[in-house]
Amino acid sequence: MAAIFKPEANLAAKVGLLVAAVLVLGVIAWWWGYPRTDYRRNDFWFVDQVVPFSHQHHVGGLGIDCRFCHLQIENAAAGSMPPTYVCMTCHSQIWTNAKMLAPVRASLAEDKPLVWNRVTNLPDYVFFNHAIHIAKGVGCSECHGQIDRMDLTYKAKDMEMTFCVDCHENPGPRLRPADQIYNTEWRRTADTPSPKALLAEYHIPSRNLLDCSICHR
């Protein structure tokens, strides 16, 4: 009786099973790994904007204080974007005909705000108050990184839950003197008040800052 399958069928079956296993493992690895990649989280990737704004030039080079453009960061729950008239404070006098600033001039002429694409994002189920962190001694660079060195803006920290938990678990070392909040180049020195002293100065309560209701309301 003739054999239904030739000897080569054994090799084909083994190769087929191996390919299937690789595909299954690949799908599982993609499903698990892709959400954790910098690309998916948008970490360290430049975000296209209506105007290619350079913090390196404006902050690092010209020394413009964060509050000059972000007017409400000390009082608002959400970080504010600069209204067009703030941009035109300078650019009505310098680089008045620059092609890259055409959207800014159009925004002013048409009385329509510029639409910026979000760089640092948090899930809707996370409550974050920008003002309280500044009021309690958390500097800009703790969350935004060395933004004064960014030619184009990107998200410098992953903003995962562990990032927030690490700080809430031990906030003292992340705090700085009030006059250094907006200094993105600030580093702790021997003269810097101790973490314990800063916790007392900012009246940070002994309440458990890991309480779920602080961030999830």
pLDDT digits (tens, 9 = 90+) for 129-181: 999 999 999 999 999 999 999 999 999 998 889 999 999 999 999 999 999 99
- Between 84 and 208, the higher pLDDT residue: 84
Q: What's the pLDDT at 2?
A: 56
Q: What's the pLDDT at 5?
A: 64
Specify burial of residue 48 (Cβ count, 10 A radius: 0-12, 13-18, 19+).
exposed
Q: What is the DSSP letter of 105?
A: H
Q: What's the pLDDT at 1?
A: 52
Q: How much of the chain exceeds pLDDT 90, in percent?
A: 68
Structure tokens at 86: 């703030």
Cα torsion 18, 24, 29, 32 to 10°: value is -160
**Do residues 169 and 146 make contact, with C-beta atoms less than 8 angstroms apart?**
no
**Do residues 153 and 119 make contact, with C-beta atoms less than 8 angstroms apart?**
yes
Q: What is the mean pLDDT of the chain?
A: 90
Q: What's the pLDDT at 70?
A: 92
Q: Indicate the domain borders of the chain.
A: 55-81+116-215
Q: What is the DSSP letter of 74?
A: T
Q: What's the pLDDT at 8?
A: 73
If pLDDT is split at 50, 70 and 90, which confidence band does 9 have? confident
Q: What's the pLDDT at 77?
A: 87
Specify burial of residue 143 (Cβ count, 10 A radius: 0-12, 13-18, 19+).
buried
Nearest to 209 by CA among 175, 152, 166: 166
What DSSP string describes 34-50? GGGSHHHHTBT-----S
Residue 171 CA to residue 209 CA, distance in Å, equals 9
Q: How much of the chain exceeds pLDDT 70, in percent?
A: 96
- Between 41 and 25, the higher pLDDT residue: 25
**Do residues 79 and 70 make contact, with C-beta atoms less than 8 angstroms apart?**
yes
- Between 217 and 194, the higher pLDDT residue: 194
Residue 26 has pLDDT above 70, yes or no: yes
Q: What's the pLDDT at 19?
A: 92
Q: What's the pLDDT at 189?
A: 93
Residue 154 CA to residue 42 CA, distance in Å, equals 8
Residue 159 CA to residue 163 CA, distance in Å, equals 6
- Cβ neighbours of 137 (radius 10 Å): 22
- Between 3 and 7, the higher pLDDT residue: 7
69-109 tens-digit pLDDT: 998 889 888 888 899 999 999 999 999 999 999 999 999 99
